[in-house]
Amino acid sequence: MTTYPIAKTESDRRVLELLSQTFGNVSSAATEIINLEAILNLPKGTEHFIADIHGEAAAFRHILKNASGNIKRKVNEIFSTSLREDDIRQLCTLIYYPERKLALIKSSETDLENFYQVTLHQLIKVLQSVSSKYSRSKVRKSLPPEFAYIIEELLHESPSEENKQPYYNRIIESIISTGQAEEFIKAISHVIQHLSIDQLHLLGDIFDRGDGAHIVLDTLREFSDFDIQWGNHDVLWMGAACGNECNIANVLRISLRYGNMTTLEDGYGINLVPLATFAMETYGDDPCEIFMPKDENPEQEDPLNEKNRRLIAKMHKAITVIQFKLEGAMIARHPEWNMDDRRLLHKMDLEKGTIELDGKTYPLRDSNFPTIDPADPYALSGEEKLLMDKLIHSFSVSDKLKTHIGMFYSHGSLFAVHNSNLLFHASMPLNEDGSLKEVSIKGKPYKGRELLTQMELLMRLAINSDASPDERRYATDFYLYAWCGPDSPLFDKSKMSTFERYFIADKETHAERKGWYYHLRDNEKVCDDILDAFGVEGEHRHIINGHVPVKVGNGENPVKANGKLMVIDGGFSKAYHDTTGIAGYTLVYHSRGFELVQHEPFTSAEEAVRNGTDIISINRLVELNSQRVRVRDTDRGKELLGQIEELRELLYAYRRGLIKERK
């Protein structure tokens, strides 16, 4: 047994006294040490990494339900020799969507009792498999209270044991005879789903494009272990929720551009009537041709009719003009951002319908701007001011938006390190030689880890009631820079050419020069230097990013820098499917190594329930560990080892009478 110097025990007395309140005697402390030592030798839990969901709630929820294909793999392993392929598919669908599938089965099944009997035996086998890597304590916490005792009995008994077989069978029979089979099947299915993903890492961009970001976040609220690395579209919404008027205008513009108001109106109750009224009054005779919403989701259930499209186009133009005014004024207030090249309204000649950029004159695609005063182009008109006041108020009083944005602060950050993996959404500002680039934050230069840390601390001030009004205002303004600033790690491009893409036909003006990270991230030494700068250690260490869709159809490889970097934006958003050739990635890190799961487009939950269809997933082994990774080898293992050491010292103190045992 380890001995501890009296001086150390005395210096640790306060910690030991606190620990003794939970483990009050030798027996309880020893029991906990035994428990923790056992947990250290279990296989590590399965981590899932997903990026750039972009509001595609149905596909995201399905991937959680099927654990990126892992549940189907387990079912195949167990029943490949005893069930037909169609039966396996139907069993998997039942696990994913138990409520819907049971309703369908009950309408057609002639022998429900036999179905329940067979299905319960099958589900218990699947649950035994997915729970085998966890302690009984963890599994117990995942069980619904009303069925916990029965499920535990079934999990830890085997019907193949002659003495226990009648006992096991009688439990199943009683579940059916008491009318609990349906609820029991639902309960076991949800436990299988829950235990199939131990930790979920979301690498940013939950918002925009798709119409279900609020549903994604509602789903996450039901999930126990997840973290979020902020993406550029996330900080856009975070800034809007904090009251940044530029971010609010951008959020509205993007939603209108894609004809998607569901998240705004149905999800968060944002009132768009004032914007519609203003747009009709101001642009009623304007066809707003270049502002027509994009038809990137033609299969949506409620496609936009022509009348709605024309109204959306006018609203789109109205908020776009307001956005450029607001951004120009805010950029002028912050010359330290070096974004003056984004103030373009004063460079327009509305009489000639042209704009001068970098010594060249370009025709404008639209020059009807009745609210722009050439003498003060960045000033809002009286009606625009009134409109923005109403919109800011609408964002500020949305309780659900506050709740969801609060999840980004409580479960999120700009970067994270988990089990030797460095996670951040987009980029790391670099110099041309691959060294970390210094970026000024409030007049002080930072780079690498310190840059992201200082940015996050500043952004959190916007919701910190202890900060001064000036600090909160600056922090709130900074969300615009985080969204589109040239050296923001969430953007890292020379400019966001939104104005040019709308109003100038010449595509040369649309170019956004990417930062050096995007050019150098396939260089193993550059990746190693970044990992060193963030203090990431381990034989198998990686950078994991999203943000830039990997064009698999063009042969692009998501695994870069000899395996040191993985880019897992495979294009969840329907808008990217033609570009990427797939419909998203999940990176899965289990005890045997890394697998990259490549998903094909998801149709619908209804189709999955009725026909047993699934996301077709292709698994690609990225890295195989020479030995199975145990909990001992993880970050969680380090925490447990520290707890064990404290408990051993408490045990020593009890036995030497230095700390008195409690009854």
Per-position DSSP letters for 493-554, written without gaps between them: BS---HHHHHH---GGGG--PBPHHHHHTT-HHHHHHHHHHTT--SSS-EEEE-SS---GGG
pLDDT, tens digit (0-9, with 9 covering 90-100), for 37-69:
999 999 998 999 999 999 999 888 988 898 888
Give Cα separations from 579 to 59, 119, 194, 498, 574 (angstroms).
18, 42, 33, 20, 10
| pLDDT of res. 204 | 93
From residue 155, alpha-carbon distances to 70, 131, 149, 236 in Å are 20, 9, 10, 46
Question: Taking 80 as the threshold, does the pLDDT of residue 571 lie above it?
Answer: no
Per-residue model confidence (pLDDT) at position 504: 97
How much is the average pLDDT of 401-409?
Answer: 97
- β-strands 199-202, 47-50 pairing: parallel
**For residues 129-136, average pLDDT:** 87
376-394 mean pLDDT: 97
Helix (H) or strand (E) holding 440: strand 439-441
Give the angle 537-593-559 at the CA atoms, nearest 5°: 75
Pairing of strands 354-357, 348-349: antiparallel
Backbone angles phi, psi at 589, to 5 degrees: -115, 105
How far apart are alpha carbons 217 and 203 in whole angstroms? 14
Q: What is the mean pLDDT of residues 518-545?
A: 95
Which stretch of 27-36, 170-179, 467-476 has the lowest confidence by average pLDDT?
Answer: 170-179
Task: Note the pLDDT of residue 578.
Answer: 62
The pLDDT of residue 167: 80
Question: In this model, does residue 630 exceed pLDDT 80?
Answer: yes
Give the mean model confidence (pLDDT) for residues 130-153.
87
Q: Are 427 and 518 in contact (CB under 8 A)?
A: yes
Percent of all residues in the chain with a pLDDT value above 70, rounded to a whole number:
94
The pLDDT, as a whole number, for residue 305 is 81
3-state secondary structure of 238: helix
Least confident piece of the model among 162-166, 219-223, 421-425: 162-166
pLDDT tier for residue 298 given thresholds of 50, 70 and 90: very low
Whether the pLDDT of residue 295 is over 70: the answer is: no
pLDDT value of residue 617: 63
